[in-house]
């Protein structure tokens, strides 16, 4: 009996070591629900870095962009194709929610149900920032993670971000995981203090880091990419929540919009006073996938279009994969 107890203790210790950075209560709630498709979503090696070797050999032309800081990346080649001030830390605004979405998807399958609380609903969001963009969640409603993610991406819902952050683990723990995610992806210009992106002197990111996050979503989180690229969605009312009708703020993915872009696949728009108007845009044509990041631009749709057009007009050789 003593031997059996000792062996059991050793087994428990081995499992604990195998799950660093997650408290025991979180292991019970999170580990069984981790999506298989995202098992390798946290990249700790040099594969997360982007190469500038192509750009060094092909200096980019003046694209007459309005953005103060911008970057264009060929996701498949892992090459930067164009950039301006890519590393200066800037206010991230709601582009923060790219990391929020990845952490939520790491923590739970998209059909997991979360409950909206008085601390995370639309009223709470607007009590913090009266002009908050919201999904219009009401305390007591229950929705799947997938449904909340539609509100996060299409409507940039601050209530959606807070519901995910507080509904899957403790909010402080969620923010800690956001920063761990950024560190694992080598987003060295970034630090997050909320899942939302409201202005905070301690919150920062850069075009380069956002390109890494977006490229990770393109390659490792296809469900998130699909959600971000939906032109609109209607969530029918159910026994646990009201109906939601949402149209995507990202006009590149809206058929009939003056900015509708051939091959646009999704991602996110953002705005705060400190950040200015910002956008991450993704597009695919043939076997090529591009990410454009535009920060503080009076017309980020036009800027993103110019970057993507330039990228698709180039022939790019993939950089060697590190051994």
Residues designated as active site: 94, 97, 156
The whole-angstrom separation of Cα 118 and Cα 155 is: 20
Sheet strands (E) in 128-238: 142-144, 232-235
With beta carbons less than 8 A apart as the criterion, state whether 261 and 300 touch. no
Residue with tokens 């995370």: 120
User: What does the block give as tokens for 61?
Assistant: 């032309």
Strand residue runs (E) in the chain: 69-74, 79-84, 113-115, 142-144, 232-235, 244-247, 264-272, 276-285, 288-295
18, 21, 42, 115 from 24: Cα distances, Å:
12, 10, 20, 22
Length, in residues, of the chain = 323
For 71, 72, 83, 196, 303, the CA distances from 63, given in Å and listed in that order, are: 12, 12, 10, 31, 8
Residues contacting residue 235 through CB under 8 Å, at least 6 positions apart: 143, 147, 150, 241, 243, 244, 245, 246
How far apart are the C-alpha atoms of 73 and 77, rounded to whole Å?
8
């Amino acid at each position: 009996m003593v031997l059996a107890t000792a062996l059991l203790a050793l087994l428990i210790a081995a499992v604990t070591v195998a799950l660093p950075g997650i408290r025991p209560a979180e292991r019970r709630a999170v580990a069984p629900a981790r999506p298989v498709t995202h098992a390798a979503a946290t990249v700790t090696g040099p594969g997360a870095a982007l190469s500038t070797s192509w750009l060094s050999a092909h200096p980019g032309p003046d694209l007459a962009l309005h953005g103060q800081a911008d970057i264009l990346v060929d996701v498949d080649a892992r090459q930067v194709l164009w950039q301006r001030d890519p590393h200066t830390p800037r206010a991230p605004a709601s582009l923060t929610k790219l990391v929020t979405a990845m952490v939520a998807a790491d923590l739970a399958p998209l059909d997991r149900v979360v409950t909206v609380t008085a601390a995370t609903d639309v009223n709470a969001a607007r009590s913090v920032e009266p002009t908050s963009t919201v999904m219009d969640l009401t305390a007591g409603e229950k929705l799947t993670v997938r449904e909340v993610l539609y509100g996060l991406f299409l409507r940039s819902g601050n209530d959606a971000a807070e519901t995910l952050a507080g509904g899957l683990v403790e909010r402080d723990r969620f923010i800690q995981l956001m920063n761990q995610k950024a560190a694992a992806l080598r987003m060295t210009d970034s630090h997050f203090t909320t899942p939302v992106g409201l202005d905070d002197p301690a919150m920062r990111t850069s075009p380069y880091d956002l390109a890494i996050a977006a490229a990770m979503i393109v390659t490792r989180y296809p469900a998130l990419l699909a959600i971000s690229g939906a032109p609109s969605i209607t969530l029918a009312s159910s026994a646990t929540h009201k109906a939601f009708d949402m149209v995507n703020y990202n006009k590149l993915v809206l058929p009939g919009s003056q900015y509708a872009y051939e091959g646009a696949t999704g991602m996110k728009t953002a705005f705060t006073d400190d950040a200015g108007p910002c956008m991450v845009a993704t597009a695919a044509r043939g076997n090529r996938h591009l990410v454009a990041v535009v920060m503080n631009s009076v017309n980020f749709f036009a800027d993103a279009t110019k970057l993507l057009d330039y990228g698709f007009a180039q022939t790019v050789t993939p950089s060697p994969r590190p051994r």
